[in-house]
Structure formats: C-alpha cells, structure tokens
Structure 1
Amino acid sequence: MKRLAGLLAVTALLSACSTTSANTQTTPPLVLATTTTVVATTTSAPLLNPASGEKAIMCDSKAVSALYGEKVKLEKCTSNWAFGDTDRDSWNCPDTGCTHTRLFHLENNTWVNTASCQRTLPLTRYAMSCYIPNVGAATLAQLPPSDVACLIWPANTFLKYTAETGCTPSKTDIVAQMNGACTGYYNAVEFPVEKCDQGRAVRLMQERLKKAGYNTNVDGYFGPSMAKAVYDFQGTAKLQQTGMIDQATWLALEPNQSSLPGTDTNADGVVGPNELK
C-alpha cells in the first residue's frame, strides 16, 4: 500500500521513542466553518478484537500513574484502555514527539502497558507496527477492541485508513489531519492525492483550485493550506469533505480530462496521477 514499502517489521530491540530530530514548519491552525463534532464510531473492523461498547472518558493520568507505578501522560482513554506515554518516554523523545506510543489496559485493578505501537499507523497493522517491550512482536491479545481503537488511537481515524479500520473520523479528526505539518513530501502516483504529496498531479490540481477562486499556492507541494482549499471545494461541490483529492474530487476539479497532460491508459475516463506525463 501507499508509502509502506520503506517500513521494517518492528522487533523487541526497538525503543518506544525515536531519538531522531526533525525540523517542522509551523503552520497557523485551520478553522472550518462548522463547529459540529461527531464522535468517532466503527462499522466493522475484522482485523481487530470485537467491539466492546466502551465510551471515551476524560483521562485521569494521576490515577493511572498511581496504579501503573510510573508517571504517565495520557492522551485518550476509555474505562479500560488508555493511550499515552510515560515521563521517561517524553524526556527521550524529540520535540516533534515520540514515534511510538504506549497502550495501557486495566487488568485486575492494575494498569499495565500491553504494547507500544507506531503512532502513524493504524492498529489494524499491529503485526508490523506494535511490540511488547522487552518481549517481542505484539499479538491481537495486546490490542483493544475495534471500537476502542477508533476512540483512542489517532491513526485509526486517518482518512487513508478508515476503509480497513472501520472508523468514522469526526470533523475534529479531519481538522487535525489538515493542520498537521509535513516532515517530508512524497510523489503523488495514485488516488487519493493528499497532504504531504508533491509533484505534477499536485500542481495541476492547485492550478484548478486557484482558477476556481480557492486560496492555495501553486508550487507542487500539498500542504495544509491546499488541504483546506480542497475541503472547501468539496463542500461547494457537495462531495465528501476529506481535504484529500480522490477520483471524484479530481473529476470535479477537471471535468475535461482530455485537457490534462497524459493518457487514459486504462480507459476508465480518468487521466489519473500515474498517467500524467
């Protein structure tokens, strides 16, 4: 799948945090016209444990720290699961944050760290992204139910992964994804064309957005401002608002596909990113 070719299987020798620093560009937060918040839900996620019906609650880091035996900083919680880092993790992580974050589970009135997982991947990919500290690769037994994963693990609601996780991202999730800074850019070679992509496909769509009156740079780099422009365009065109350019958005931005510099090699009526010249 897209951008996974460079990932290596996680082993027990991995530490919970990366020590590599990265420079990120600060971008003013984007604000959408609507303030409606939808709670993340799940339809089905066969790659994880069955849904439990747990609800998101306010994290009580102090109480969990007391039971766990070490100071923790939790980000999202349910009554039996939590997601966050220990103080030790935070000290060892770069300013951009830890690359791996811990899952905590309440077992016999004690909070235990069941696994540490790569933050940027959904828990459905635990076999390549999660490990048990000082033991080895994580298994399904160390992971939360599918609905809990939707509530507490951010990557499970990333729009590019929702087809496999079964999660429905809230508008808050979408805004957070559009606001995030890019630490690198990748050539856009398939749908969806999304934030942190670059290349000919991005520039062509920037030109269409600009022509339609939306505020975006025309530089070939898909940053937060372009994501906001795409989101607004999708709203006007009555398309699903994701801030990513799927095939429907691509066609709406350029109905005359023959005007694009490329060839519809598979005869599907679309000159896609991989067919541009």
Structure 2
Amino acid sequence: MDPQNLTHVSKFLLLGLSEDPGLQPLLFGMFLSMYLVTVLGNLLFILAISSDLHLHTPMYFFLSNLSLADIGFTSATIPKVLMDIHTHHRIISYVNCLLQLSFFSFFGCMDNLLLTVMAYDRYVAICHPLHYPVIMNPNLCGLLVLVSFFLSLLESQLHCLMVSQLTFCMKVEIPHFFCDPSQLINLACSDTITKNILVYFIGAIFAGAPVSAILFSYTRIVSSILRVPSLGGKYKAFSTCGSHLLIVCLFYGTGVGVYLSSAVSPSLRTGARASVMYSIVTPMLNPFIYSLRNRDIKRAMQRLLSRPA
C-alpha cells in the first residue's frame, strides 16, 4: 500500500454483531438484559458476602474481587454497544478505542489471574488442610490480589502501547462490537509481524502461565481426592472446587473457542459472536454458579433479601 494512503486515524467504525436494522431491537434488549443481570447479580453477591461474617474467608474474598472484575469486564464494552444501537452511531474515536481496549484487557487479565489465585486457594485447602489457616492468611490474600492488580495493569498498558504504534488506513471498519486488540492488529496497514509475535508472547505470559498453574493445581487436587478412602469424603472435597472448575472451563473454553473459530472460519463476524460468551455470558453466570452450588451463599442471600428496608 502506498505511504500516502496511511495515516494515524482519528476514529473507527464498529460494525457490531449485525447490521440488519430488524435485529437491532433484539440485540439491544439482549445486551441490556445481560448487562443488568451481570451488574445486579454480582453486586448482590458481593453484598451477601460482605454482610455475613461466616463468609469472611479467603475463598469468598477472592470471589468478591472476581465479581468486581466481572462488573468492570462487562462495563468496558456493553454501555458503548447499547449507545451505538440506540443512536445508530457506531463511530468510536481513536482515544476512546484505546481506553476501551485498556479497560477490557485490564479486567480480562484480572479475571484470569484471580481464577489462578482461586485455584491455588483450593489446592491449599484440599492438599494441605491443616496448614490452610496459616498459609492463606489475610496478608497473603491481600498481596495476591494486589499482585494480580498490578500485573493486569501492566498487561493492559502493553496492549495499549502496541496498538498505539500501529498505522491504519484512512477508513477502518472493525468487524466487532468493541475494540478487540487482535482485530486492530489484523486491520493495520503497517507491518504487524513483530507486533503479532509480541501479542503471542504477552499471551503466553499472562494467559499461558495462569492456565499452566491452574492445570498443575487441579492435577494435585485430583490426586489428593483420589487418595481419600470414603466416597463421601471424595464428594465433599470435590464439591469445594466444582464451581471454580466450571467457571474456569467456561472462561477459558469460550475464550480459546473465539480465537480458534476466528482462525478457521473465513467470516470476520464469527469471532465477534463467539466473544459474547466469554466477555458477557460467563461474567453473568459466575454469581449464579456459586450461589446454586453453595448453601452458605444461599443462606447469606436469603438473609440479605429478607432484611427490612
């Protein structure tokens, strides 16, 4: 492409999930309902945990932070989607695109690292139950969340820095409902080989390492559960990590599915539709998965909702 056709663009066009005018009311209702359920469900989950002294334990502390990260994760994209559908104005400025990318990467990485921390918490609880109160003390729990915060901030800034160095054509249409970093790199007119290598390198560090840690933790957990002599003891041990394992499968399964479908399918919209699962549906389901499988959370929810105004 000729150098004169290259410029630092001032705005992008978000194509969304569909350009069919007849589908816009349905998409608006779907995104609005999922966003409200996500925010209200996670806020209620946090209030239930904070209001019950019996739930002031490391596991529920990490769960509260995961719910906060889920609210931020969905808030980074859905309000803009709702505004685009309502106003029929799908333009996003260059600066706002970088901001959205930063927040999306930050809260996505925060989710990723918190799931890893929770896997470690379950590993200590099942494999070293007698030392659990000593190992998972409040200072260590706070430190783990703080480290997750700063690592997420670093990852989001690296993504933002790489995208800010890209050169785009005069008119850039993003076949997505938010500023996805992989889509932006693919649409850049400048040479992106080095930046693709950097993206994979960052992904290997901030995604590959946590996944490896989770797999290692559950390998040790399963090994310890199999050594439990009674069937009831095995079920009790597994039930303490069943909800976390289900969320891990939802988050990573759908996330990997997005990139695999984008690589296999020639349709650029396939990745956008698939990303709804890990970026919206999974954060929405998290509090319900833990509430339905946990009697302590159910009791805390009932006490919270039955309190007089």
TM-score by length of 1: 0.25
TM-score by length of 2: 0.23
| Greater per-residue strand proportion | 1
Instruction: Flag the structure with larger Rg.
Output: 2
Higher RCO by CA contacts (8 Å cutoff, separation 6 or greater): 2
| Greater per-residue helix proportion | 2
